[in-house]
Amino acid sequence: MPEPKTPAVLIAGTGSSAGKTTVSLGLMAALSKKYKIQPFKVGPDFIDPGHHTAICGRASRNLDSYIMDEKGVLETFARASQGADFCIIEGVMGLFDGLDDTEVASSAHVAKILDVPVVLVVNVYGVSRSAAAVIKGFTEFDRVNIQGIILNNAGSKRHTELIRNSLRSAGINIPIIGALPRSKEISIPSRHLGLHTAGENKLDIRLLSDFIEKHVDIEAVKTIAGNFKAQDITLSEPDEISSTRIGIAWDSAFCFYYQDSFDDLRRLGADLTFFSPVSDELPQVDGIYLGGGYPELHVRELEASRTRDDIKKAADDGMPIYGECGALLYLNESLSTDRTYRMAGILGASSRMTDKLQALSYTEAQVVSDSPIARKGKIVRGHEFHYSVTECDRDARWVYRLRRGKGINSGMDGLIEHNTMASYMHTHPASVSFAEFLRLCSRYKSF
């Protein structure tokens, strides 16, 4: 007998401030009381998935049709949804907002790839009949299966009824399944790279759950999710298994990772050991992976930690080390914030923080020299988002030539020294697997 398909729904918004994060987190909190909820996030964001994971107790996965392509979206969804009772997908920006003027990387594109029903969150502050015009436009713009409407910032029951009547008069038969009043209690603090992380900000999950249960028809959401019929796909398996131990930098300084990266490493045979460059000793490992995060907020502790010297020694010894964004700042010679701090000193460059956003873009890179993550000639997709500037030595060795994006300098990204490489670009295993990294780690282990 075929395995039953997991019900799923995508929560989208008419824009970035429509309220989809509040609705998504609230639904996850409410449904998690009785069910196993598998959360997802459209786009490359690292922070929202952390909140999803904290609420649901299951690691949230990203679904990005630019970086992962359609096959990667389908595979990630199929793998992660196994064993869940419901899947809730939080959208990104407005429903149709994607790469440039295309649908690629939009919530709508992911909804069409998965053929999943959509609940549209509409900010109705200061409007009534005009909301019907907005909703009508969203329902007719493209073939997305919108099956429910949730109003955010509804002023009163009469306000909601005016909008409901306006929808009926306009011939829109999609039901309003929720109307959220304005609430100052439901908020998450933010900083320069987005919301505070789940580890820093303790959401009042009960408050969030109660708020959504009071103002949203949860049974209607479950019915909509039950209309989803997942596609049958064949999941790919690795050709080669590498028995290695990989150290993962994991603390408040380095916390931006895709769960799919950990899954890819484990499928390829790696044993993962998590450690803090701020407070732990470097464990006995065959390679190191440092993600992005907020090293600039912990720069004093990073400078003072002996782990900085241990990582430098490991790099000099030839250990494969791969880093992204915040890791680049750490693996360089120095990082300047209120003053200049010594960092690991592996890569011939220095970085400084600025008050201005330096890069926010999807990226596409050609690998121009063999590296710990990929061999020369491969095309890698990812994204960049940072407030720092990095200045390199004249003899800097580059890994990436960007076809799209800014990189470190003049469209070049990815510095390499010994078997250590770091870039501003964040990647995803659907674009570039960790197979090459583990191959180098296995070789290092055998020496």
Residue 389 bridge partners (DSSP): 352
CA torsion through residues 404, 406, 408, 410, sign: positive
Distance, in Å, from the CA atom of 297 to the CA atom of 285, rounded to the nearest integer, reads: 27
Helix (H) or strand (E) holding 399: strand 398-404
DSSP assignment letter at 296: G
Q: Are 380 and 399 in contact (CB under 8 A)?
A: no
Distance, in Å, from the CA atom of 124 to the CA atom of 132, rounded to the nearest integer, reads: 10
DSSP assignment letter at 147: E
Q: Which of 255, 325, 392, 441 is catalytic?
A: 325
Distance, in Å, from the CA atom of 328 to the CA atom of 61, rounded to the nearest integer, reads: 24
Is 441 known to be catalytic? no
Q: What is the full DSSP assignment across 30-47?
A: HHTTTS-EEEEEESS-SH
Q: Burial of 190 by CB count in 10 Å (0-12 exposed, 13-18 middle, 19+ buried)?
A: exposed
Neighbours of 265 (CB within 10 A): 25
Distance, in Å, from the CA atom of 14 to the CA atom of 118, rounded to the nearest integer, reads: 12
Distance, in Å, from the CA atom of 136 to the CA atom of 380, rounded to the nearest integer, reads: 39
Distance, in Å, from the CA atom of 105 to the CA atom of 363, rounded to the nearest integer, reads: 12
Distance, in Å, from the CA atom of 11 to the CA atom of 66, rounded to the nearest integer, reads: 19
Distance, in Å, from the CA atom of 407 to the CA atom of 266, rounded to the nearest integer, reads: 29
Strands (E), 133-277: 146-154, 176-181, 190-191, 194-195, 244-249, 254-256, 270-275
Catalytic residue numbers, as ranges: 325
